[in-house]
Amino acid sequence: MRSRRIVATLIGALPLILALSATPLRAQVQQSTSPIDDLLKRAGDAFNDLNYSRADSLAHQVLAIGGRITPAQRTRALLVIAAASYPEEQGAQRRAIALATLRQIIRTNLALKLPQELTWAGLDSLVEEAKRTTFGVEVGGEAEQVVVGPQGTARLHVRGSKPGSYQLTIMPVSGGSAAIVDSLPTVSNGEFTFSAMRSERPVFTSGDYAVIVTGIDASNHDTVTVRYTARVDAPALEFASTAAKIDSSKLLPEHTKRFGVKSVFPGVLVGAAAFALASSVKAQGNIQTKLGSDSKGAAVGGVLALSTILAGFADRGRPIPANIAANKAYGEAFKKSIVDAHAENRRRIAEYRTTLHIDLEAR
């Protein structure tokens, strides 16, 4: 019995609990509505109340805010102005203003379709007239595009309400030279294609970019410029380093040291010994000559000394097979390191990725 009373009490208190729990949610929803959206809602309510001048005034207040409004908010404000300028009530119609406003929207929104709460048959007809008589440009493409290597390309499709020529410019928001400039001849539909690398180096650096498409009507040279924003992720492309030449300080000697100057002293000793020996020997019998024994000793000693010294300077040392083999292996390893580094750099270039996040909502 007691448990039933508890359950009944909880059931009775349930509406109050739900009401209390819903209060923060309603407050959160109300807080999430921006002042601009609130102005647009009030403008729409004024239009529904047939207060067209009030709707027009509130919509113009939104446009006066300028850069703080989003493209969607700007379009909504223009739609309210067009609808308030051309309602069903004939006495309140301002056709020229409505048509000019619709043309302003169509210049960057060829697929314009009025929301049901703002339109009627006459305004729909005015939209079709604006489309027929206005040069407009619309750009499409994937919102996220990954471009790989020098051969990869990003693509943006452009469509005009009339044949025209088009130019694409992508440049950093922070300023500087354009990263991409491309153009299309006179067409109604065309596609821009561009690489994210030039001469095997990245065109972009990571950051925010402005994507600007300009169309020129082929018949009357009317010009439309559409702006979009893009975020580019382009990491630095780092290359494997290679030495310009082999490090000779790491080479081992391939021969023992040469005698060189060290051969002078032995040469002098040999020459002196030969001279001393020749001086102590007397010529006898048939080997006598017109030269005295002293002259012969000096000549022989000098020849032997000079020959010994020359032989010492000509000596290149004995080969050291182990060092020769080690130097050869080091040279081959150096050549291989260069080949490997070049191959690694080619791989890094071929696999380099640039990611473009393009917001294709016209500014």
Measured CA to CA, the distance from residue 137 to residue 224 in angstroms comes to 7
Tokens of 106: 């169509």
* The pLDDT of residue 175: 87
* The pLDDT of residue 8: 39
CB 78 within 8 A of CB 62: no
* The pLDDT of residue 15: 47
| Mean pLDDT on 91-113 | 94
Total domain count, the chain: 3
Range in 11-25, 38-52, 106-120 with the lowest mean pLDDT = 11-25
| Mean pLDDT on 44-70 | 92
Query: Residue 173's domain is classified under what CATH number?
Result: 2.60.40.4070
Whether residue 16 is contained in a domain is answered as no
Tell me the pLDDT of the chain averaged across its residues. 82
Whether residue 2 is contained in a domain is answered as no
Structure-token match 């005009």, residue found: 160
* pLDDT per residue as tens digits for the range 170-199: 999 998 889 999 999 999 999 999 999 999
Quick one: CA dihedral 179, 185, 191, 195, positive or negative?
A: negative
- Do 312 and 326 sit in the same domain of this protein? yes
pLDDT-based confidence at 255, cuts 50/70/90?
A: confident
Phi-psi region of 317 (alpha: psi -120 to 50; beta: other; left: phi over 0): left
* The pLDDT of residue 272: 63
Q: With a cut of 90, say whether residue 125 has pLDDT above it.
A: yes
- Do 176 and 100 sit in the same domain of this protein? no
* The pLDDT of residue 225: 94
CB 102 within 8 A of CB 161: no
Q: Among 133, 168, 190, which residue terminates a domain? A: 133
* The pLDDT of residue 298: 64
* The pLDDT of residue 308: 59
Q: What is the pTM of this model?
A: 0.67
**Highest mean pLDDT out of 206-210, 301-305, 357-361:** 206-210
Instruction: Give the domain extent around 174.
Output: 137-239+352-359
Measured CA to CA, the distance from residue 330 to residue 250 in angstroms comes to 9
Tokens of 325: 């083999």
| Mean pLDDT on 4-26 | 44
Q: Among 133, 150, 166, which residue terminates a domain? A: 133
pLDDT-based confidence at 4, cuts 50/70/90?
A: very low
Q: Among 109, 133, 157, which residue terminates a domain? A: 133
